[in-house]
Amino acid sequence: MGGFLGFVYRQWTIKPKPLPSALSLSGKTALITGANSGLGFEAARELMSRKISRLIIAVRDVSKGEAAKKELSSSQGGDTCEIEVWPLDHESYQSIAELGKRTAKLDRLDYALLNAGVKMMSYKKSALGHETNVQINHIGTSAVSLAILPALKHTAQRYNTPSRLIIVSSEGHFWIPFKERSAGKILAKMDEEETFGTQQQRYYTSKLLNVLWTRELASKVDKEEVVVNTVNPGFCYSGLHRHSASVINVFLWLFAWTPEQGGRCLTDALVKHEDSHGQYLSDQRQTPPSSFVLSSDGEKAQKKIWDETIALLKDEAIGLDTSVVT
């Protein structure tokens, strides 16, 4: 798992399957971040086809979210699903805190799919001063997971069944050296431009942080309340690649799955695998993450990333309650 030849083999031979046609999600509520396009949009469409009752699209650009809502409304299930568009900016802790407050007012939140992300190919600081891939893919996503956790727990307690929290990662977490792990402060080191690396290294490192965060979060959450996993959706046609070099188009032509197929991987992780917790899901099954993640060095990095992220959020994210897991 994780090598280039294995990647090619899987992309060419595996065809992600849709959720069982007999499955009904009637009465359930799902929240998907970054669902205005690409894989998140296709995941939303499939949940609607399985009769989900309420779908919350949390997006940075509300106008794009409304356009997605209009298109989704014409999909199968659009006549029975209540679709809401909520603003969410991973570069604003106030926005993330407001999302948490809104979820707390819901009668239920059964599924949360944290899909929003970016793949920046050159160094750029976010509005909050951190490198953009790290801010949006790791810090922002981690903050969102904490903000919505109380609503997920409340739903589980009220309906006596675990809710689900899925963070989207990438197979790319296998492919990076993660030299920053030896720094005194890993996240601060990753803010330095000279550590950015080449090509997709920083993006893949942010996806490794997703895996490490998910594993540590799962260790602090009762799986009888919230099942927490991370998922690799596969290499798919998506707007995620818009900042990539033109050669990516060759790889997309040769190997990529469709957005619909990638969306199936997301919904599979969100709805199935009830007995998993803190796991890495890929190709619609539970598989081991990278050897580094499973190593003693990986375990140390996992706890260090957790501690640093919690400390950063306590310092920067005024209004966000981190005590839900500490």
Say if CB 46 and CB 264 are below 8 A apart.
Answer: yes
Please state, in angstroms and rounded to a whole number, the distance separating the CA atoms of residues 304 and 189.
13
In the chain, beta strands by DSSP E: 29-33, 54-59, 82-87, 111-114, 163-168, 226-232, 280-282, 285-287
Helix (H, G, I), strand (E, B) or coil at 33: strand
Catalytic residues: 170, 203, 207
The per-residue DSSP string of 157-201 comes to HHHTS-EEEEEE--GGGGS---GGGGSSSHHHHHTSGGG--STTH
The enclosing H or E element of 51 equals none
Cα–Cα distances in Å, from 48 out to 102, 186, 193, 287?
Answer: 22, 40, 42, 28
Closest Cα partner for 33 from 75, 89, 83?
Answer: 89
Q: How far is CA 318 from CA 97, 98, 143, in A?
A: 9, 11, 11
- Both tokens assigned to 274: 């009830």
CA distance to 65, 85, 87, per residue, from 61 (Å): 6, 10, 7
The structure tokens listed for 290 are: 């990278």
